[in-house]
Structure 1
Amino acid sequence: MKISGKFILKVAGTLTVISLVVAALLGLVDNVTADKIAAIDAENTRIAMSAVAPEGSEFGDKLDITDDMTAAAASQGGKLVELYPMTTAGADNGYVMKISASGSQGSIVMMVGVDADKAITGISVVSHAETSGIGTKVVGNEPNAAGEPVLDQFIGESGAGSLVVGKNIIAVSGATVSTKGINMGANAALAVAELLG
């Protein structure tokens, strides 16, 4: 059986029309939902920032990240993703940063608050791929071997590079790599804060 050129053109034309209609529909759905998705993302970011800042803190617009900031975070094993100024009772009071660091199963993305005295005010994990029942104990702020919630032990700590798992940071049993990921993020945030002065 021989396929005619006319048949091939008809099939190609039909497929082209279907592709154009689907592309137009996808574009329309994107236009309709883009603002809603952006609003949800902004609200989730605000909630995550509030979780790591002193009560009553307010946040400015996202700041530009410089090469020096990127290098400071990288020197401690983290990646600075976003940076926001923080005010408390109307006074400048440090920064809230979204930091990414390596965990046991991939990146751990966290919000870290650092006050004007360059001390951590809180850490909240935004996303992760840690092992359920092991690494999730760390990102879920469950108690470490000393009985203290693992993320809470960072509050009040300062000095980039001074936080060391096994020395002044206690890991969750069986989840040392996940704890080290959070530790790298905390040290990275402190390094950026120290650079900012």
Structure 2
Amino acid sequence: MKIEGKFIFKVAGTLTAISLVVALLLGLTNMLTADKIAAINKQKTEEALAKVVSAADCEFPPMEEIPQAMIDAANEQGGKLSEVYEVQSGGDTIGYAFKVTASGSQGNIVMIVGVDTDLTVTGVSIVNNSETKGIGSKVIDNEATSAGTGALDQFVGKSGAGTLVVKQNIDAVTGATVSTKGVTKGVNAALAAAEAMN
């Protein structure tokens, strides 16, 4: 069976028109939702920042430019460092908060990790994730491990980039080992970035 040139031209033209319409609609949707998505992400980050410090009434001025040494140190631990905040209380610097992304079982886990001036973790809070409901979400929701400590709370007081290891000094949530390992990578990355500041 021979296909005529007119038929091919007609099909190609139709597909091109459909592609252009879809691209236009996606572009318009992005324009309409980009600001709202950015505002939601900003709000989630602010809420997470407040959760990773022990002092009340803290301020979180962002670091305008993150040194490459900090980015590299975080990468070496399996995390991607995207934002750094100084944690100030009463005008004094009491620590730093790092926005880090690490891979979990179903996708990326974006978290804020607080670290004090002694390079000890003060808290971990999840900003965004794709973990499975009822499994990986147990870690994200800070459910208790077999030791009875919250999955995120167990990192508080820990230090030493690269020293935190699941099933050695970090307890995995039953059925959510990969998610626990993802958060552990993020915490190790934040600690590495903090150590690279000095």
Q: If the length of structure 1 is used for normalisation, what is the TM-score?
A: 0.80
Q: State the SS of the aligned residue for 2:117.
A: coil
Q: State the SS of the aligned residue for 1:72.
A: helix
Quick one: structure 1 residues 62 and 142, their matched pair in 2 at CA, closer, same or farther if it must change by over 3 Å? same
- Tell me, yes or no, if the aligned pair for 2:44 and 2:127 is still in contact at 8 Å: no
In structure 1, distance between residues paired with 2:183 and 2:59: 24
In structure 1, distance between residues paired with 2:120 and 2:62: 22
Residues 69-148 of structure 1 mapped to structure 2, 5 A cutoff: 69-148=70-149
- Residue 13 of structure 2 corresponds to which residue in structure 1? none
- Residue 49 of structure 1 corresponds to which residue in structure 2? 49
Quick one: structure 1 residues 68 and 143, their matched pair in 2 at CA, closer, same or farther if it must change by over 3 Å? same
Quick one: structure 1 residues 35 and 77, their matched pair in 2 at CA, closer, same or farther if it must change by over 3 Å? closer
Aligned Cα RMSD in Å?
2.5
Which 10-residue stretch deviates more, 36-45 or 76-85? 36-45
Cα displacement (A) at 1:98:
0.8
- Residue 162 of structure 1 corresponds to which residue in structure 2? 163
Quick one: structure 1 residues 43 and 133, their matched pair in 2 at CA, closer, same or farther if it must change by over 3 Å? closer
Greater Rg over alpha carbons, structure: 1
Cα displacement (A) at 1:39:
4.3
Cα displacement (A) at 1:57:
1.6
Q: Aligned pair count? A: 179
Q: State the SS of the aligned residue for 1:192.
A: helix
Q: State the SS of the aligned residue for 2:82.
A: strand
Q: Which runs of 5+ in 2 are unaligned?
A: 1-16
- Tell me, yes or no, if the aligned pair for 1:63 and 1:85 is still in contact at 8 Å: no
- Residue 196 of structure 1 corresponds to which residue in structure 2? 197
- Residue 6 of structure 1 corresponds to which residue in structure 2? none
Q: If the length of structure 2 is used for normalisation, what is the TM-score?
A: 0.80
- Tell me, yes or no, if the aligned pair for 2:62 and 2:83 is still in contact at 8 Å: no
Q: State the SS of the aligned residue for 1:101.
A: strand
Q: What letter matches 2:128 in structure 1?
A: S
Q: Equivalent pairs: percent with the same residue?
A: 51
1:89-121: CA deviation from partner (whole Å, max 9, x where unpaired)? 221112111100111111111111111111111
- Tell me, yes or no, if the aligned pair for 1:141 and 1:151 is still in contact at 8 Å: yes
- Residue 8 of structure 1 corresponds to which residue in structure 2? none
Cα displacement (A) at 1:42:
2.9
1:180 aligns with 2:181: yes
In structure 1, distance between residues paired with 2:130 and 2:36: 26
Q: State the SS of the aligned residue for 1:122.
A: strand
Q: Which runs of 5+ in 1 are unaligned?
A: 1-14
